[in-house]
């Protein structure tokens, strides 16, 4: 982890401008996610404007939405749901995928084969339809959304982690550890894992972006966060009829998604470039 | 590289691979069908209730259940379905009273066409963007292309589609806002009405492929052999095409295969917005009407498409890469 | 719509028997004569592989439209909500138990066969077979006997008196198919013939040149498709890809009207989305709690914000103000936080927590729940909105929890909506409300020949439901169609959008 922190410091000192912009955007949205609800000027579900799709004004900084609710307040709450859900799901997918990949790489044999089949199975079922079925079966809830979006991205993470781990397992220092008589758990956690953290974190960053977009796709299918709350994707979706009039109610959440994902991508790119040549 | 022996070693290397792949593909298909069967069993209600709707009397539900075989134990139904699949018969739809094969036959060509057109545009585009930015990495073009691909993925798919419709259909009246695909359509009509869906999907899948291409090519360009070749006086474009690309192709075709597999089942949003009669919306329809044989058939097709794409990617990677070929 | 009582007798008698032949009342004053020819593409909001050509199985608006294109019924309900003879030339009954129908002669099915009493007997009796899966099975249970009376006469005996039979038979499910046809595939006596049918994708119908109503239909061809996404449906209309669309969102009306050459048609209807408070559970079964909730609904806000005024304020009973049987003497419940607080206090339920189950399946329910939650918080009521997916909502959540939302489509008669949703032993007695007095009035009204007396009976039923039932009806939702202005002859029929789904034979295309 210290190496990761080092890269961050290096980025701040001398990294490319795009990386610093990315970092700023990501930090901004994380701050909004944490502090947003305290900053929101109105309750998230309150009908405060008689007009719908109101323009930006002193009272409603970002206008009002299709029911006359305050867009800024809803956006701040939406950022919390999107950022925290996507972060949680990315972490969950990353840790599950990596744990399974380590098991597959270290144990090999039929376990490896079985896990590979399981992952193929998961990945070949269209993810949004899979989500639709699960939500219809269990009802929509935050834990389920978190679980669905992480399960959907486990196979991708597994693929990359397994490739990295298999590579490492073949290396001399692992053979030495095996010769020392170390157990599989020790080899996986102490020898292999530390050497793959950096690319895995970069991968997790990408998954974060994918999950933000997946969530907005799910919201199109009506599978979002429970009202009166809404994630950023749901905000875009519910206000889409304001698109022709260019209402801030739709432009702002769309901008939020764009800046969040672009920022995360720029940051990952910059950190990845920091690795330099191998 | 001896021209005569290469095909033979390639073939002898590929055949066992293909055999193993077919076996594991069949296993995966079985697993997918089991997952679909289990998960859909958790859904409330069944095909009889969903077909008859709220107004159904218990006698009607019982009669319909008997007619479509829903009164038999779930495992027996699954076994029957499996046995049918082994014979190559996906069964009869519980809702539409038609063979599943017929329903699929109406929709599959549409989905393949949508995916095909999109692939035709997006793959060359992604390769061009990826290679151009890798060759110019760090340069102005690279940064411009990077910003472009990033913003392509930063807008939710349904918003891209809706914006496209607003501009090209409602405002300019150039293109139809819905995909009116029918058997009587001419090729011209087909192309016109699938332009917007294809463009939307292109926006969605190109960026990911382009970014992977850039990464793979850049990785190769940074290797010593590129510098060596250039020092030897080989033209740069030749280095890229003859040396860099074959080595970078593995990860690229892999990324392409993954992106293209999205074009079948992942097209649900585009199919919904453009009323496109494809397989993804058919599968959603099968879920809501609890039509198990139809649901399974869709899942099998998506799974097969995915496995085929990944297999193709692996074969291409092996054939393109001299080192892998030799193994 | 006129509130003047209309007499069922005059309908039954020979006086109005010919009315079905004439154009509907509104058509008479239409400016230019209808033009012949042309074709349009029409989009409804729903289609699936369950799409059917069998009228008895129709479940969605697309089905109803398709069936009215291909088949005709014994009777037909017009814009004034009065049922008139159609395929039946005369409908007569002395006691409202035994009905006799005299069929029009010389009407031909698309395959050339002449319509006879055997076709009608078959078409009506098939609903009683559970294996068919008719949507009207419970209603057809009232048919004690259906038999032919000569080649052109049919006798239908009911299990009890029902003055509304002509209206019931005007529904699309009771359209007439060919005798012995077990799986009807479009062979009807309707204004259009089937050219192509792909379930879940499209229906194409072409003009029936031998249609039995002279001068109709006007269009040569209608292509019926479905566009599930509302935004896409509106876009398709504005882009000129379709010429008529139903279920336009109120918030899209401004957009449609802003584009030259397009317009919306709003049909005030009895459609409502209601909050159902189960009377057999707590806290919703507490009468004071019900009163509190009824006073917590900001009906004006619902009407304005959710439906952009394309709605009529409701009063917690299912008969809308524009219905001939509406009782104007029932006092209107309005938003009153103090009263709500008082009722809650009296019930000892201040601070109680209650989940509201809403779903996109019930139009507007999610937003209604949000509004209610907001006002609930002001009087110390902790309401939580549970948005359920549309898929499976009706089978798993509707009526299954203490507080759920329902959605009831317009029914052709007051009797039907009361019998289906408010009678003590009705399968869909949504709130589980049991009131013997109401049940007695309902049966009495069904057979009551005297119109003013009937109206009084329905009036009392409305008061009972308003005062005591756990069904909260904030507004009646208007149905909105969007259309290309070159499409003429479209009018509002309160039974449903698109002229009660029967636009096909009435509209025409006028390029000029």
Per-residue pLDDT tens for B273-307?
Answer: 998 889 998 998 888 888 889 999 999 999 999 99
Average pLDDT over residues B266-272: 89
Whole-number pLDDT of residue B242: 82
Question: Which residue from B31, B42, B272 is facing A117, i.e. has the nearest CB?
Answer: B31
Q: How far is CA C475 from CA B39, B249, C273, C314, C386, in A?
A: 39, 62, 8, 4, 21
Verify whether the Cβ–Cβ distance C255 to A136 is below 8 Å. Answer: no
CATH 3.40.190.10 for domain C11-21+35-226, yes or no, is yes
Average pLDDT over residues A64-92: 90
Verify whether the Cβ–Cβ distance B96 to C135 is below 8 Å. Answer: no
Q: For chains B and C, what is the number of CB pairs under 8 angstroms?
A: 129
Phi then psi for A177, rounded to 5 degrees? -60, -40
- Tokens 């044989």 identify what position? B293
Whole-number pLDDT of residue B42: 85
Residues sharing a CB contact under 8 Å with residue B163, sequence separation 6 or more, in sequence order: A243, B155
Average pLDDT over residues C366-391: 87
Q: Please state, for a pLDDT cut of 90, what percent of chain A lies above it.
A: 24
Verify whether the Cβ–Cβ distance C387 to A140 is below 8 Å. Answer: yes
Closest CA to A273 of B215, B152, B254, B211: B215
Closest CA to B271 of B180, B197, B165: B197
pLDDT at B207 over 90: no
Q: Mark C73-110 as b/e (b = at least 16 C-beta within 10 Å).
A: bbbbbbbbbbbbbbbbbbbbbeebbebbbbbbeebebb
**DSSP, res C414:** H
Q: Which of A128, A226, A250 to mutate to test the interface with C (most CBs of C within 10 A)?
A: A226
Nearest-angstrom CA–CA distance, A34 and C441: 60
pTM: 0.85
Quick one: tokens of B179?
């995909």
Q: Select the more confidently predicted residue: A78 or A49.
A: A78
Q: Select the more confidently predicted residue: B321 or C119.
A: C119
CA–CA min distance C237, chain B (Å):
9
- DSSP H or E run through B246: helix B245-265
A181 pLDDT band, cuts 50/70/90, is confident
Range among A183-192, A231-240, A263-272, C118-127 with highest mean pLDDT value: C118-127
Cα-trace Rg, chain B: 24
> Which residues of chain C neighbour B97 with C-beta distances below 8 Å?
183
CB neighbours (10 Å) of residue C472? Answer: 25
What ipTM score was computed for the predicted complex, to two decimals?
0.83
Whole-number pLDDT of residue A259: 92
CB neighbours (10 Å) of residue C271? Answer: 23
Whole-number pLDDT of residue B325: 55
ω into A85 cis (within 30 of 0): no
Whole-number pLDDT of residue B321: 67
**DSSP, res C478:** P
CA–CA min distance B217, chain A (Å):
14
Closest CA to B118 of B257, B263, B258, B256: B263
Least confident of A177-191, C14-28, C248-262, C497-511: C14-28
Find the farthest-apart pair of alpha carbons in chain C and give their distance in angstroms, rounded: 71
> Domain C270-477 maps to which CATH number in 3.10.105.10, 1.10.569.10, 3.40.720.10, 3.60.70.12?
3.10.105.10
Closest CA to C461 of C335, C343, C316, C334: C316
pLDDT at B1 over 80: no
Whole-number pLDDT of residue A3: 55
Nearest-angstrom CA–CA distance, C5 and C76: 19
- DSSP H or E run through C105: none
Q: Select the more confidently predicted residue: C190 or C5.
A: C190
CA–CA min distance B102, chain A (Å):
22
Concatenating the DSSP letter of every residue in C221-239 gives EEEEEE--SHHHHHHHHHT
B52 pLDDT band, cuts 50/70/90, is confident
Verify whether the Cβ–Cβ distance A136 to B31 is below 8 Å. Answer: no
CA–CA min distance A46, chain C (Å):
6
Verify whether the Cβ–Cβ distance A132 to B287 is below 8 Å. Answer: yes
pLDDT at B54 over 80: no
Verify whether the Cβ–Cβ distance A117 to B157 is below 8 Å. Answer: no
Verify whether the Cβ–Cβ distance C131 to B182 is below 8 Å. Answer: no
Quick one: tokens of B142?
């690279």
pLDDT in tens, A115-169: 988 998 988 888 888 888 888 888 778 899 999 999 999 998 898 888 888 888 8
Q: Select the more confidently predicted residue: B157 or B45.
A: B157
C263 pLDDT band, cuts 50/70/90, is very high
Concatenating the DSSP letter of every residue in chain A gives -HHHHHHHHHHHHH--HHHHHHHHHHHHHHHHHHHHHHH-SS-TT-B--SSSS----SSSTT-B-TTSBBHHHHHHHHHHHHHHHHHHHHHHHHHHHHHHHHHHHHH-HHHHHHHHHHHHHHHHS-HHHHHHHHHHHH---HHHHHHHHHHHHHHHHHHHHHHHHHHHHTSHHHHHHHHHT--HHHIIIIIIGGGGHHHHHHHHHHHHHHHHHHHHHHHHTT-SSPTT---HHHHHHHTGGGTTTT-HHHHHHHHHHHHHHHHHHHHHHHHHHTT---
Whole-number pLDDT of residue C10: 34
pLDDT at A227 over 80: no
pLDDT at C150 over 50: yes
Average pLDDT over residues A91-105: 92
pLDDT at B230 over 70: yes
Query: Chain C residue with minimal CA distance to B63?
Result: C131
CA–CA min distance B5, chain A (Å):
30
Nearest-angstrom CA–CA distance, B158 and B150: 17
pLDDT at A92 over 90: yes
Average pLDDT over residues C58-78: 92
Verify whether the Cβ–Cβ distance A47 to C301 is below 8 Å. Answer: yes
CA–CA min distance B273, chain C (Å):
6
Average pLDDT over residues C116-128: 95
Q: Which of A46, A48, A66, A81 to mutate to test the interface with C (most CBs of C within 10 A)?
A: A66
pLDDT at C368 over 90: yes
- DSSP H or E run through C410: none
pLDDT in tens, A49-76: 777 788 888 888 888 888 888 899 999 9
Average pLDDT over residues B103-128: 92
Quick one: tokens of A115?
């896990």
Least confident of A6-10, A88-92, A198-202, B153-157: A6-10
Using a CB–CB cut-off of 8 Å, the residues of A that contact C are 43, 45-47, 50, 52, 66-68, 132, 135-136, 139-140, 222-223, 226-228, 240-241, 244
> Within chain C, which residue ranges are assigned CATH 3.10.105.10?
270-477
Q: Select the more confidently predicted residue: C439 or A186.
A: C439
Q: Select the more confidently predicted residue: C473 or A183.
A: C473
Whole-number pLDDT of residue C223: 95
Verify whether the Cβ–Cβ distance B165 to C200 is below 8 Å. Answer: no
For residues C225 and C197, the answer to whether their CB atoms sit within 8 Å is no
Least confident of A12-21, B37-46, B225-234: A12-21
Whole-number pLDDT of residue B125: 95
Q: Please state, for a pLDDT cut of 90, what percent of chain C lies above it.
A: 60
Phi then psi for C401, rounded to 5 degrees? -115, 175
pLDDT in tens, C279-311: 998 889 999 999 999 999 999 989 988 898 999
pLDDT at C377 over 80: yes
> Which residues of chain A neighbour C306 with C-beta distances below 8 Å?
67
Using a CB–CB cut-off of 8 Å, the residues of C that contact A are 231, 249, 251-252, 255, 301, 304-306, 308, 358, 360, 366-367, 369-371, 373-374, 385-392
A233 HSE (CA, 13 A, CB side):
30
Whole-number pLDDT of residue C15: 32
Average pLDDT over residues B258-266: 85
pLDDT at C70 over 60: yes
What crossing angle do the helices spanning A248-273 and A71-107 adopt, rounded to 10°?
A: 30
Verify whether the Cβ–Cβ distance C133 to B286 is below 8 Å. Answer: no
Q: Select the more confidently predicted residue: C124 or B8.
A: C124
Residue A186, classified by CB atoms within 10 Å of its CB into exposed (0-12), middle (13-18) or buried (19+), is middle
Residues sharing a CB contact under 8 Å with residue B10, sequence separation 6 or more, in sequence order: B318, B319, B325
pLDDT at A99 over 90: yes
> Within chain C, which residue ranges are assigned CATH 3.40.190.10?
11-21+35-226
Q: Which of B98, B160, B178 to mutate to test the interface with C (most CBs of C within 10 A)?
A: B178
Q: What is the mean pLDDT of chain C?
A: 88
Nearest-angstrom CA–CA distance, C402 and C356: 8
pLDDT in tens, C240-261: 999 999 989 888 888 899 888 9
pLDDT in tens, C385-399: 888 877 778 777 888
pLDDT at B209 over 80: yes
Nearest-angstrom CA–CA distance, B133 and B145: 7
């Amino acid at each position: 982890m210290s190496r990761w922190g080092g890269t961050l410091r290096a980025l701040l000192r001398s990294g490319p401008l795009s990386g610093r912009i990315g970092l700023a955007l990501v930090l901004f949205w994380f701050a909004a996610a944490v502090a947003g609800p305290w900053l929101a000027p109105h309750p998230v579900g309150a009908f405060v404007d008689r007009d719908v799709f109101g323009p930006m004004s002193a009272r409603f900084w970002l206008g009002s939405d299709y029911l006359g609710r305050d867009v800024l307040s809803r956006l701040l709450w939406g950022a919390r749901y999107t950022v925290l859900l996507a972060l949680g799901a990315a972490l969950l997918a990353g840790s599950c995928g990596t744990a399974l990949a380590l098991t597959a790489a270290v144990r090999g044999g039929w376990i490896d084969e079985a896990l590979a089949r399981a992952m193929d199975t998961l990945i070949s079922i269209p993810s949004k339809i899979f989500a639709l079925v699960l939500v219809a079966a269990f009802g929509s809830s935050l834990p389920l959304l978190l679980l669905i979006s992480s399960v959907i991205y486990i196979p991708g993470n597994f693929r990359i982690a397994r490739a990295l781990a298999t590579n490492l397992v073949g290396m001399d220092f692992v053979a030495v550890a095996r010769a020392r008589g170390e157990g599989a758990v020790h080899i996986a956690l102490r020898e292999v894992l530390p050497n793959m953290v950096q690319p895995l974190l970069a991968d997790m960053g990408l998954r974060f972006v994918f999950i933000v977009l997946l969530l907005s796709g799910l919201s199109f299918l009506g599978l979002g966060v429970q009202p009166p709350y809404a994630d950023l994707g749901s905000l875009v979706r519910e206000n889409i009829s304001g698109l022709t009039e260019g209402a801030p109610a739709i432009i702002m959440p769309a901008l939020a998604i764009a800046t969040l994902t672009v920022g995360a991508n720029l940051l990952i790119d910059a950190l990845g470039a920091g690795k330099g040549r191998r | 590289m001896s021209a005569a022996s290469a095909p033979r070693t390639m073939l002898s290397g590929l055949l066992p691979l293909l055999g193993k792949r077919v076996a594991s593909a069949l296993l995966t298909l079985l697993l997918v069908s089991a997952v679909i069967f289990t998960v859909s069993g958790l859904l409330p209600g069944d095909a009889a209730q969903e077909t008859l709707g709220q107004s159904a009397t218990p006698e009607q539900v019982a009669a319909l259940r008997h007619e479509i075989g829903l009164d038999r134990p779930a495992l027996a139904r699954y076994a029957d379905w499996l046995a049918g699949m082994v014979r190559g018969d996906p069964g009869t739809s519980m809702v539409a009273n038609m063979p599943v094969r017929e329903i699929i036959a109406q929709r599959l060509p549409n989905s393949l066409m949508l995916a095909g057109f999109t692939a035709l545009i997006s793959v060359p585009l992604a390769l061009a963007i990826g290679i151009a930015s890798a060759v110019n990495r760090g340069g102005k073009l690279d940064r411009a292309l990077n910003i472009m691909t990033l913003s392509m993925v930063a807008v939710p798919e349904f918003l891209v589609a809706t914006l496209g419709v607003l501009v090209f259909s409602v405002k300019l009246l150039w293109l139809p806002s819905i995909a009116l695909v029918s058997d009587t359509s001419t090729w011209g009509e087909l192309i016109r009405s699938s332009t917007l869906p294809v463009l939307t999907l292109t926006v969605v899948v190109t960026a990911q492929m382009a970014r992977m291409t850039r990464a793979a090519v850049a990785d190769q360009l940074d290797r010593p052999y590129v510098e060596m070749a250039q020092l030897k006086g080989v033209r740069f474009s030749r280095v890229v095409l003859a040396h860099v690309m074959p080595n970078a192709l593995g990860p690229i075709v892999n990324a392409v295969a993954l992106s293209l597999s999205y074009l079948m089942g992942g097209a649900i949003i585009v199919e919904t917005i453009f009323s496109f009669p494809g397989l993804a919306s058919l599968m959603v329809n099968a879920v809501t009407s609890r039509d198990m044989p139809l649901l399974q058939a869709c899942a099998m097709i998506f799974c097969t498409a995915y496995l085929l794409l990944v297999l193709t990617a692996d074969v291409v990677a092996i054939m393109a890469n001299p080192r892998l070929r030799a193994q | 719509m006129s509130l003047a009582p209309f007499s069922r007798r005059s309908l039954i008698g020979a006086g109005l028997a010919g009315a079905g032949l004439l154009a509907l009342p509104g058509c008479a004053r239409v400016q230019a004569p209808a033009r012949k020819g042309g074709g349009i593409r029409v989009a409804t909001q729903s289609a699936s592989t369950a799409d059917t050509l069998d009228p008895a199985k129709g479940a969605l608006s697309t089905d109803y439209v398709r069936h009215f294109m291909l088949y005709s019924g014994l009777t037909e309900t017009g814009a004034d909500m009065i049922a008139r003879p159609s395929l039946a030339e005369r409908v007569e009954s002395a006691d409202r138990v035994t009905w006799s129908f005299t069929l029009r002669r010389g009407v031909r099915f698309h395959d050339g066969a002449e319509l006879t009493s055997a076709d009608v007997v078959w078409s009506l009796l098939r609903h009683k077979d559970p294996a068919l899966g008719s949507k009207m099975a419970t209603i057809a249970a009232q048919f004690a006997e259906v038999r032919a009376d000569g080649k052109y006469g049919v006798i239908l005996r009911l299990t009890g008196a029902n003055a509304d039979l002509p209206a019931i038979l005007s529904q699309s499910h009771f359209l007439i198919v060919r005798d012995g046809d077990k799986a009807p595939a479009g062979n009807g006596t309707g204004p259009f013939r089937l050219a192509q049918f792909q379930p879940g994708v499209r229906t194409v119908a072409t003009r029936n040149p031998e249609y039995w109503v002279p001068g109709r239909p006007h269009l040569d061809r209608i292509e019926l498709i479905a566009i599930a996404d509302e935004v896409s449906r509106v876009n398709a209309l504005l882009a000129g890809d379709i010429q008529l669309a139903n279920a336009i969102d109120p918030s899209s009306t401004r957009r449609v009207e802003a584009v030259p050459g397009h317009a919306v048609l709003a049909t005030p209807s009895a459609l409502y989305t209601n909050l159902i408070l189960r009377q057999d559970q707590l806290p919703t079964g507490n009468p004071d709690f019900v009163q509190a909730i009824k006073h917590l609904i900001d009906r004006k806000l619902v009407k304005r914000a959710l439906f952009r005024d394309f709605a009529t304020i409701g009063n917690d009973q299912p008969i809308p103000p524009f219905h001939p049987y509406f009782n104007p003497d029932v006092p209107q419940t309005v938003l009153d936080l103090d009263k709500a607080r008082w009722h809650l206090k009296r019930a000892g339920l201040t601070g109680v927590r209650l989940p509201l189950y809403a779903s996109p399946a019930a139009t507007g329910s999610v937003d209604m729940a949000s509004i209610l939650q907001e006002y609930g918080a002001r009087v110390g009521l902790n309401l939580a909105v549970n948005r359920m997916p549309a898929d499976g909502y009706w089978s798993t959540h509707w009526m299954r929890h203490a507080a759920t939302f329902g959605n009831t489509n317009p029914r052709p008669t007051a009797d039907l909506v009361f019998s289906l949703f408010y009678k003590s032993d009705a399968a869909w007695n949504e709130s589980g409300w049991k009131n013997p007095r109401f049940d007695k009035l309902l049966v009495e009204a069904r057979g009551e020949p005297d119109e003013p007396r009937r109206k009084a009976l329905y009036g009392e039923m409305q008061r009972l439901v308003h005062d005591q039932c756990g069904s909260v009806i904030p507004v009646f939702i208007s149905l909105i169609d969007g259309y290309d202005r070159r499409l003429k002859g479209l009018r509002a029929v309160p039974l449903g959008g698109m002229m009660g789904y029967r636009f096909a034979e009435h509209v025409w295309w006028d390029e000029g």
